[in-house]
Structure 1
Amino acid sequence: MTTLKSFTATGDTTVQALAGLAGAIGETSLDASLVCVFYDAAHDDGAIFDFLRARFDRAAILGGTSCNGVMNQSGLGGPRSIGLLVLEDPEGNYGAASTRLQGDAADCAERTLHAALEQADCAGELPELIWIYQAPGQEESVIEGLRRVVGDRCPIIGGSSADNDVSGQWRQMGPDGAFGDGLVVAVLFSSGGIGYAFQGGYEPSGESGIVTRIGYDPVGESGVVTQSAGRQIISIDGEPAAEVYNRWIGGVLGDKLQNGGNILIDTTLHPVGVDVGKIEGITNYLLIHPDKILTGGVLSTFASIEEGTRLYSMKGERTRLITRAGKVASAAAAMLPGGEESLAGGLVVYCGGCMLAVGDEMPRVASAVTGSFRGRPFLGCFTFGEQGAILGKNAHGNLMISAIAFGE
């Protein structure tokens, strides 16, 4: 039988927050198979890791920093919060492994997946689900490496670690401690079954265009020219991409077209989307968040786009972003082999950009997920990139929501 418990605590210092977690756990006997930990980037990784290893010495550990803290069934933890999701499943198998993303990211991911499978004592087997947490920047390559082993026969769910101000202070935590440039992979063989969902809370605004030229993505100390895909859109329909995009969203970036700069906050409610197919006649979109305007009207994004892709201008509203998380949680619970009644709890990845856009209404997001998960324990993190399975294919997107539901 699978059981979940979720704990959060907030403190001005890491010592204070960990003392709060220790008090919340109390004398509860926990023989954890998997522990997910997420925390505000201001906290001390070493102290958190020591805390986990002292209490959960046999558990697979996965997590890292989350934009302005966490949420769970008790509400929004807020800045300086730390959250734990403790999963006990004596009849299941769980393993985790971590690495620095140095050199070829796909190769790193492939090796780390094999290491996680060995840790779970399931080498050569197909997991029910792969859970990942990674540094932003090479998500597509990571998924490529994982797919070399499992293809799309297994959902790959997770997030890109975040800080509070997009200054690069994000970290990832695995069984070997914390990294700033790493990848953590966990493999889940659950005895109670797993349900999952991956969605966005945006809709098309009406405009669209074809990506006609892509630039190059810097990787490490060198630049890799990508003739067919990349994160720098040079042109859409033959025109400078930033100019086209600015027209689509009503000219709100006019002041930045000349000199360029960061547009992350300006564009949170105006991403672009890629049509990935239909479910029951309804088109689904993978969302991509523009983050900078570069020299020459080049549009930089947080996800890779292929030349020849039709991009759709998307629009979002705070109300939709508030309610969507609960709907995604419900969709994940509905996928459980034993139905929603078998729900033990869950894990939610909610885009950090959406969280910042929702602002002081975020307690309503936590409440919506709590209602959808029937008050069962869950933990939610806020990320700078989201990974999930959509229409049977594993993908990386932005401004998305992933949910995992664990069955008893």
Structure 2
Amino acid sequence: MPEANIMVALKSFVISNSSTAEALSELSIAIDAVEIDPNLICVFYDGDHEDALIFDYVRTRFPDAALLGGTSCSGVMSEAGLGGAGSIGLLLIEDADGDYGTAAVRLGPDACGCAEQALHAALAAADCSGELPELIWIYQAPGREEAVIEGLRRVVGDRCPIIGGSSADNTVAGGWRQIGPEGPMDDGLVVAVLFSSGGISFAFQGGYEPSGASGLVTSIGYDPAGESGVVTKVSGRQVLTIDGEPAAEVYNRWIGGVLSEKIENGGCILEDTTTYPLGIDAGQIEGVTQYLLIHPEQIGKNQSLSTFASIEEGTRLYSMRGDRTRLIQRAGKVASAAADALPGGSKNLAGGLVVYCAGCMLAVGEQMPEVSRTVSASFNNMPFLGCFTFGEQGSVLEKNAHGNLMISAVAFGH
């Protein structure tokens, strides 16, 4: 058991095996070798694994623990290294003096209302109805992240940080899933509320810098909101024009013509644009501008530009740039910032949870083992689990937001 003076204990377990049954058998052996009675379990795994088997194992082995998780692009990482393709990872958090609850809901037409409902259910599951959590952690299907955050903010405003990720598959084919306390889903939201007895801190940053060019979004394309067809605000995920010109043409000019061969016919540009995201000015910390990143996804009709996050008309977009070295180093810096912000500092660290954008992971490529080593060193080699997502949620200058190509870390104190 944990030492008497330690209130919070974390353990991570990662197994790489293409067979779900065999991976779970190996996980069971590893977990049985330690003594831990978790109050919260996070489980992330390669999208090729069988969700039902994973859920049945976790629920049978730990029937009373709060549960959150889902698919992660090409597996997970931990202090033991990069799990890689076929990996399953579990993070077990024991905190007998804390309170933890999870709830899940399918995201219907009213994503705001669904999120609000899930948060109230998670608070009830933690036996903390009406209380303000120390942190809210979410995992959801990509597509309606802004609406989910707005629904959660109806309850907690920006008084509580909302951290998390959008579940991912391995090929951007829509095969992502989520796991909550009642089982797996493919179109859902899982909400966890955390009231830790040892303290929680977090950091949420991107590993890119502005390249100099910028422009105003002058028109947006969007789907009607809800069944009524009434548009409630001029925002969406399809930028039609920047400074009055076709958005894709302007963007391509900003990044040196990288997309010239795709401008006319359009198509997916995710891999082409990972090191050239767009940024929105989120404010300044000690005179340094902080940017919320947005990943361009596709060139559409009339050279429009589709993105993985919603943008409001009139927003100034900044052309950003990054490289492998910066993306590797930034992961460690984010982990260090989270650990240092704990009550008592990093010496009080029990472990952590990391969200690393799948786009960044694919850009780093064969150097991804360096990312896990960098995070591990920043977390003082304490247990952590990292997932790779298609969208990242976090708090920037005390405002909860959704971005792309971001990195977040949550640090748990003893």
Shorter chain as denominator, the TM-score bin is over 0.9
Q: Deviations over 1:229-280 (max 9, x none)?
A: 1100010000000100000001111111111100000000000000011111
Is 1:196 aligned to residue 183 of structure 2?
no
Residue 384 of structure 2 corresponds to 378
Q: Deviations over 1:300-344 (max 9, x none)?
A: 000001111100000011000011101000000111112111000
Structure 1 length-normalised TM:
0.98
Structure 1 portions without partners, runs of 5+: none
* % same residue: 70
CA distance in 1 between counterparts of 2:16 and 2:40 reads 22
Residue 309 of structure 1 corresponds to 315
Equivalent residue runs for 1:25-104 within 5 Å? 25-104=31-110
Equivalent residue runs for 1:3-402 within 5 Å? 3-217=9-223, 225=231, 227-402=233-408
CA displacement at 1:27 relative to structure 2:
3.6
CA distance in 1 between counterparts of 2:397 and 2:258 reads 33
Q: What SS does the corresponding residue of 1:329 show, helix, strand or coil?
A: helix
Conserved 8 A contact 1:217-1:232: no
Q: Could you tell me which amino acid in structure 2 is paired with residue 186 of structure 1?
A: A
CA distance in 2 between counterparts of 1:23 and 1:166 reads 33
Sort the Cα spacing of 1:76 and 1:224 in 2 relative to 1 into closer, same or farther, 3 A. farther
Q: Could you tell me which amino acid in structure 2 is paired with residue 239 of structure 1?
A: E
Q: Deviations over 1:62-97 (max 9, x none)?
A: 010000000000000000000000000000000000
Q: Could you tell me which amino acid in structure 2 is paired with residue 330 of structure 1?
A: S
> Which of residues 392, 404, 409 is equivalent to 1:403?
409
CA displacement at 1:29 relative to structure 2:
2.6
Structure 2 portions without partners, runs of 5+: 1-6
Structure 1 window deviating more from structure 2 (327-336 vs 23-32): it is 23-32
CA displacement at 1:25 relative to structure 2:
1.1
CA displacement at 1:219 relative to structure 2:
7.0
Q: What SS does the corresponding residue of 1:252 show, helix, strand or coil?
A: coil
Give the CA RMSD over aligned residues: 1.2
Conserved 8 A contact 2:235-2:310: yes
CA displacement at 1:288 relative to structure 2:
0.2
Sort the Cα spacing of 1:220 and 1:291 in 2 relative to 1 into closer, same or farther, 3 A. farther
Conserved 8 A contact 1:216-1:223: no
CA distance in 2 between counterparts of 1:377 and 1:30 reads 13
Q: What SS does the corresponding residue of 1:296 show, helix, strand or coil?
A: helix
Q: Could you tell me which amino acid in structure 2 is paired with residue 379 of structure 1?
A: L
CA distance in 1 between counterparts of 2:230 and 2:17 reads 43
Q: What SS does the corresponding residue of 1:31 show, helix, strand or coil?
A: coil
CA distance in 1 between counterparts of 2:42 and 2:13 reads 11
Conserved 8 A contact 2:351-2:413: yes
CA displacement at 1:402 relative to structure 2:
0.6
CA distance in 2 between counterparts of 1:208 and 1:223 reads 32
Q: What SS does the corresponding residue of 2:56 show, helix, strand or coil?
A: helix
Structure 2 length-normalised TM:
0.97
Q: What SS does the corresponding residue of 1:20 show, helix, strand or coil?
A: helix
CA distance in 2 between counterparts of 1:223 and 1:69 reads 39
Aligned residues: 408
Structure 1 window deviating more from structure 2 (10-19 vs 367-376): it is 10-19
Q: Could you tell me which amino acid in structure 1 is paired with residue 294 of structure 2?
A: I
CA distance in 2 between counterparts of 1:296 and 1:226 reads 25
Conserved 8 A contact 1:204-1:312: yes
Q: What SS does the corresponding residue of 1:265 show, helix, strand or coil?
A: helix
CA displacement at 1:223 relative to structure 2:
6.8
Conserved 8 A contact 2:110-2:226: no
CA displacement at 1:218 relative to structure 2:
6.9
CA distance in 2 between counterparts of 1:223 and 1:300 reads 21
Structure 1 window deviating more from structure 2 (350-359 vs 23-32): it is 23-32
Structure 1 stretches of 4+ with a deviation exceeding 3 A read 217-227
CA distance in 1 between counterparts of 2:276 and 2:228 reads 31
CA displacement at 1:228 relative to structure 2:
1.6
CA displacement at 1:16 relative to structure 2:
1.2
Q: What SS does the corresponding residue of 2:223 show, helix, strand or coil?
A: strand
Q: What SS does the corresponding residue of 2:364 show, helix, strand or coil?
A: helix
CA distance in 1 between counterparts of 2:375 and 2:166 reads 21
